[in-house]
Chains A and B, each alone.
Chain A
């Protein structure tokens, strides 16, 4: 036989294992395979045990296997070999009368079979070559299928394969979860059955195209809905289409929450701006009313007092607006919430109607929270007011204070330890829609009411680093829960309540009063001069610097607005501190907390007074600062 001349370095040799106990058959086969052109290394064993051992040490590329051996026979022989050599091609050598068995082995994994006595060298070599190629293709296909299957089964997106009629033929676990039905229930049903009506109409048009994207609602069995982004491709296989579905319901909810939050933020900024201007106006009104009181007769004095009382109510409203906009100045202390609630119990009694019963349940040894006491009291009172309004016919309000541990699975509440204040009522409850809007400013379901109570609660708690939630159902009452992070254990001492002090008014010191509001400046000057002070005035920071530099004597106190034209409060304070280091500073503003630090002024928080203030309050503050410095 002539041989093919080839460069051996470029020839790929395959390892053949011949498992044959018939000496003549083995001699024939090894003889046929020994030609160099065959490019085969052939090894011969006579028993199954030998074969299995050999395969472990020298894994073959192809196995020529006689099924009837001394130590094994029939299908069992094939089965052992197939399990031991998963990567080898198997060619079964069968007798003419057990061809059925050989065919079975091919169905179950053998690459081919040859009937003894009916093949020559050519056919044997060709069969070996084709068996190797077939095995490689099968392996590649198996690998590819395994990869695709893994992707299909483990995808977080739902994947559905469906026919032209829209009937689903295969779906992954995520698709099944998305539709809210078991997989075997999904297969055989139309995809459109789960989607809103709009999808079915769109589908008619979409199915004419090769691929596309869209968005639709999925209707679940419990009437819940999920928003889904989908993309599809038609004819991935003849008559079969592919759809990939992504649940974006949570994303949509988060986007809606963000929009809502941004809206509330914008309202808060607007409210803050309005409140600032309003505070200035109220300051002017109450200031002049106070001045009027000083020189009025009894009747006029009473009128003036009513003006002052009205401005105080108006000021309270602006306080709430500013609280919602989180612009309130805060005096943060470590507080025991149970003690705060206990301190308010008599006020709560007064607030509730006789038909409403009050229960207060407070755990002992709760941790301390860091918050502003007056603001926390405002929160409790606002929640109590809300509860009372929900129980027009009477009922029970329960205030619970306990410790709450948030786990990772808790939405909207980061993991951690909290003190929970819950105010529950047995009133009319709220719908889901009402609950979603309950913290919006000016939102109210009542005929009377500012709609600011709960938004104030929201603003204060958020500013304190806490969280507030609501649970309710129509006619089943409501529970508002406030979560404040535990700041320290009870070992730390909570701040004592601030005692009210009575101050003497009046003095003889020289004050420099700076405010761009002329009316307010004039009224305050009149009042303070009436108290005996010598008052220098200026309408803006630049003018104030000129006045201060020109004045030869000592200026005991600079009283200045923060936000002014030409030279801000900061610039003025820096100048005065550098030129008159003994001059005290009292800042006033219609804005609030961050006005001082935001403008970069380093100042003791007690040296700030928020507008509007009564002149009495101003006088007491001035006296307090001057007495402290002396």
Chain B
């Protein structure tokens, strides 16, 4: 027979459960240490998805599609000289990079965003190229994290 849990107990049980999960995550995340660099923190990402490999893979797949789109949008903004569009598109890329704990990619996207905020587009091509490099590296790291033999 299932015990009906009163509302007042649910919160405590929930938090205890989260503690246990955190412990489990701690042990699992150590397997991604080899992917850790100064540009990418897999441990942080793993914690963010709550150790949910299924969720991680979904995100990686989405990023595989959205990443190039966001980069193309930045290029379009630079090509059309639209500082406002550059700002918005870079802001989106920055947010995504942060979600993936990709500090380097986030940093470059931030620079582009600031340029756009200041109404500047000139000099953005260089940063856009740099960003593409970072995104490529990030994609590789994510694939390794999500689809390597150690990822279960």
Which residues of the other chain, A, contact B14 by a CB distance below 8 angstroms?
Answer: 4, 37, 125
Is B20's CB under 8 angstroms from A2's CB?
yes
> Please, which residue of chain B has its CB at the minimum distance from the CB of A98?
B91
Q: Which residue of B2, B5, B47 is within 8 Å of A120 (Cβ)?
A: B47
Say yes or no: B59 contacts A122, CB within 8 Å. Answer: no
Given A2-B20, A7-B4, A27 and B96 touching (CB < 8 A)?
Answer: no
CB–CB A121/B66 < 8 A: no
Let me know if B98 and A31 touch, CB within 8 A. Answer: no
Residues on A with C-beta less than 8 A from B96 are 22, 24-25
B2 touches A28 (CB 8 A): no
- In the assembled complex, B88 has its CB within 8 A of some CB on chain A: yes
Residue of A nearest to B63 (CB): A24
Q: Which residues of A sit under 8 angstroms from B52, Cβ to Cβ?
A: 1, 31-32, 121
Q: CB < 8 Å: which of A12, A23, A31, A125 contacts B66?
A: A23
Are B59 and A10 interface neighbours, CB within 8 A? Answer: no
Complex Cα distance, B99 from A116, in Å, reads: 7
Evaluate contact between B55 and A25: CB separation under 8 angstroms: no
Q: Is the CB of B110 within 8 A of A97?
A: yes
Given the interface contacts A5-B2, A28-B48, A32-B50, does A122 sit within 8 Å of B98 by beta carbon? no
Say whether A24 contacts B62, CB under 8 Å: yes
Q: How many inter-chain residue pairs (CB < 8 Å) link A and B?
A: 87
B115 in the interface (beta carbon within 8 A): no
Tell yes or no: A239 within 8 A of B by CB: no
Q: Does A497 contact B (CB under 8 A)?
A: no
User: Which residues of B lie under 8 Å from residue A129 when comparing CB positions?
Assistant: 11
What separation, in Å, do the CA atoms of A120 and B49 have in the docked complex? Answer: 7
Contacts of B2 in A (CB 8 A): 5, 7
Residues 1-42 of B contacting A (Cβ, < 8 Å): 2, 4-5, 7, 10-11, 13-14, 17-18, 20-22
Decide: B17 and A2 in contact? CB cutoff 8 A. Answer: yes
Most chain A beta-carbon neighbours within 10 Å: one of B59, B66, B95: B95
Contact in complex: B17, A37 (CB < 8 Å): yes
Q: Which residue of B lies closest to A38 (CB)?
A: B14
Q: Select A22's contact among B4, B95, B110, beta carbons within 8 Å.
A: B95
Question: Does A1 lie within 8 Å of B51, measured CB to CB?
Answer: yes
Q: Do B91 and A31 have beta carbons less than 8 Å apart?
A: no
Chain B residues with CB under 8 A of A581: none
A68 at the interface (CB under 8 A from B): yes
List, in ascending order, chain B residues with CB within 8 A of A10's CB: 4-5
List of A residues within 8 angstroms of B58 by Cβ: 27, 31
Most buried by A among B22, B48, B88: B48
Q: A2-B20, A4-B17, A117-B99 are in contact. Are A27 and B5 (CB under 8 A)?
A: no
Please name the residue on chain B nearest to A115 by beta carbon. Answer: B98
Q: Of A28, A96, A116, A120, which contacts B59 at CB under 8 A?
A: A28
Partner of B99, one of A1, A25, A37, A68: A25
Whether A31 lies near B55 (C-beta < 8 A) is: yes
Q: Flag whether A237 is at the interface (Cβ < 8 A).
A: no
Asked if A25 meets B4 with Cβ closer than 8 Å, knowing A2-B21, A31-B52, the reply is no
Task: State in angstroms the CA–CA spacing of A27 and B61 once bound together.
Answer: 11
Interface assignment of A350: CB less than 8 Å from any CB of chain B: no
| Complex Cα–Cα for A121 and B48 (A) | 6
Complex CA distance for A62 and B94, rounded to whole angstroms:
26
Q: A27 and B59 in contact (CB under 8 A), knowing A22-B95, A116-B95, A121-B49? A: yes
A68 in contact with B91 (CB, 8 Å): yes
Q: What chain B residues lie within 8 Å of A24 (beta carbons)?
A: 59, 62-63, 66, 95-96, 99-100
Q: Is B132 positioned at the interface, with any CB of A under 8 Å from its CB?
A: no
Give the chain B neighbours of A299 by CB distance below 8 A: none
Check B18 against A122 for contact (C-beta < 8 Å): yes
- Docked complex: B94-112 residues within 8 A CB-CB of A: 94-96, 98-101, 106, 110
Q: Closest approach, in angstroms, between the C-beta of A10 and any C-beta of chain B?
A: 5
Answer whether residue A95 sits at the interface, using C-beta atoms and an 8 A cutoff. yes
Chain B proximity of A11: nearest CB distance (Å)? 8
In the complex, chain A residues 20-47 whose Cβ is within 8 Å of any chain B Cβ: 21-25, 27-28, 31-32, 37
A6 at the interface (CB under 8 A from B): yes
Q: Are A95 and B13 in contact (CB under 8 A)?
A: no
List chain A residues, Cβ under 8 A from B55. Answer: 28, 31-32
A5 to B10, CA, bound (A): 11
Q: Mark A576-605, 1 if CB is under 8 A from B, else 0.
A: 000000000000000000000000000000
In the complex, A5 Cα to B91 Cα: how many Å?
40
Query: How far is B8's CA from A12's CA once the two chains are assembled, in angstroms?
Result: 13
Given contacts A24-B59, A24-B63, A117-B99, contact A32 B49 (CB under 8 A): yes
| Best-surrounded residue of A12, A37, A122 (most CB of chain B within 10 A) | A122
Shortest B59–chain A CB gap in Å is 6
- A37 to B59 CA separation, bound complex (whole angstroms): 22
Contacts of B7 in A (CB 8 A): 12
**Is A1 a contact of B95 with CB atoms below 8 Å?**
no
Tell me the nearest residue of chain A to B97, going by C-beta.
Answer: A117
Residue of A nearest to B92 (CB): A22
- For residue B10, give the distance in angstroms from its CB to the closest CB of chain A: 8
**How near does chain A come to B108, taking the closest CB pair, in angstroms?**
14
**Which residue of A4, A27, A37, A95 is within 8 Å of B94 (Cβ)?**
A95
B59 near A31 with CB under 8 A, answer yes
In the assembled complex, the CB of B73 is this many whole angstroms from the nearest CB of chain A, namely 12
A22–B66 Cα distance when bound, in Å, is 9
Q: Are A117 and B62 in contact (CB under 8 A)?
A: no
Shortest CB distance B79–A (Å): 20
A residues neighboring B (CB under 8 Å)? 1-2, 4-7, 10, 12, 21-25, 27-28, 31-32, 37, 68, 95-97, 116-117, 119-122, 125, 129
Can you list 18 A-B contacts with CB-CB less than 8 angstroms, sorted by A residue number?
A1-B50, A1-B52, A10-B4, A10-B5, A24-B62, A24-B100, A31-B49, A31-B52, A31-B59, A32-B50, A68-B88, A95-B95, A95-B98, A116-B95, A116-B98, A117-B106, A121-B48, A129-B11
- Seen from chain B, the residues whose Cβ lies within 8 Å of a Cβ on chain A are 2, 4-5, 7, 10-11, 13-14, 17-18, 20-22, 47-52, 55, 58-59, 62-63, 66, 88, 91-92, 94-96, 98-101, 106, 110
Q: Which 8 A-B pairs have the closest CB atoms?
A: A117-B98, A121-B50, A31-B55, A24-B96, A122-B18, A120-B48, A23-B66, A27-B62
Query: Given A1-B52, A95-B98, A96-B98, 11 more contacts at CB 8 Å?
Result: A7-B2, A7-B4, A10-B4, A12-B7, A22-B92, A22-B95, A28-B55, A31-B58, A117-B48, A121-B48, A121-B52
